[in-house]
Structure 1
Amino acid sequence: MHTDTPVADRIEIADLFSRFALLLDEGRWNDIDTVFADGVVIHSPRGGELEGIDSVVAFLRRSTVEGQHTQHTTTDLLVDLDGDRAAASSNSIVYYYRDGQAPHFVGGLRQACNLVRTPAGWRMREVRVLPAWTREA
């Protein structure tokens, strides 16, 4: 979907961040290409530097803990558009929990992303995960 209006681009980018959070919460690793561009690079203290969709999916599969769920909340999205490229950042709080139980671990982080417009829509090209704090129950 290609539009020339900054408002439509900002809405699509906000949806991209929400889709990414939901994809992580639902563990839909096979849909990762709906949020990341080919050749994506992710910088994270947990995963180090991951390059390419296959590398990201392999890391996510290895990181899955049986019976543990997450709930990602994304706030304070800032977007700087530059044609078919954009820089965007957000705050996230991630809750880790088991069915029917209160979270046993919570973490706050900042995401800084470079995005590109593709024929399929906006996609994350580079992601930096910057942890801010954690709390264990």
Structure 2
Amino acid sequence: MSSQDQLEVGSLFARLSRVLDEARYDDIGTVYADDIVVRSPKSGEIQGLANVIAFLHRNHDNDVLTQHIHGDVLVTMNGDEAEASANQVTYFYRDGAPPHQTSGLRVAYRATRTPAGWRFHEGRIDLAWTKKD
């Protein structure tokens, strides 16, 4: 385990936020592995990168922007595998307006070293709370 590996796994959260907030869903492969499995209350279980991309495009609302913020990131390394978790706050807003919805989530991922770098290959997203204004 190197501190560089730990830093790279932790940075996947920031990269994920940017891809989601900028609606660059076709770039999710820079964060997720081809064999990704994601479980969440909203989507159930999605298997495979192409299915995740399709889900993101299908559920995108052009009028609603997001800002994802991760904190309390913990990364545990085990060779070419890692477990990573974080608390996430997501703000939903319209351009120039304050958020009309805010959600707190707990996210946990398993990451693996791939030829392209570290990628999440299994994830669980749990909703802790939502506030609608």
What is the TM-score normalised by the length of structure 2? 0.98
2:58 is matched with 62
2:97 is matched with 101
List per-residue Cα deviations over 1:29-50 (Å, max 9, x = no partner).
1111100111100001101100
| Alignment match of 2:109 (pick from 90, 102, 113) | 113
* Cα distance in structure 2, aligned partners of 1:93 and 1:8: 26
Once the two structures are TM-superposed, the CA of residue 57 in structure 1 deviates from its matched residue by 0.6
Aligned residues: 133
Once the two structures are TM-superposed, the CA of residue 72 in structure 1 deviates from its matched residue by 0.2
Structure 2 segments unaligned to the other structure (5+ residues): none
Identity value in percent? 46
Q: Which amino acid aligns with 2:110?
A: N
Q: Which runs of 4+ in 1 moved over 6 A?
A: none
Equivalent pair of 2:29/2:49 in contact (CA under 8 Å): yes
Alignment of 1:20-99 (within 5 A): 20-99=16-95
Structure 1 segments unaligned to the other structure (5+ residues): none
Task: Kindly report the root-mean-square deviation, in angstroms, between the aligned alpha carbons of the 2 structures.
Answer: 0.8
What is the TM-score normalised by the length of structure 1? 0.95
List per-residue Cα deviations over 1:57-115 (Å, max 9, x = no partner).
11101111121100000000001100000011000000000000000000000001010
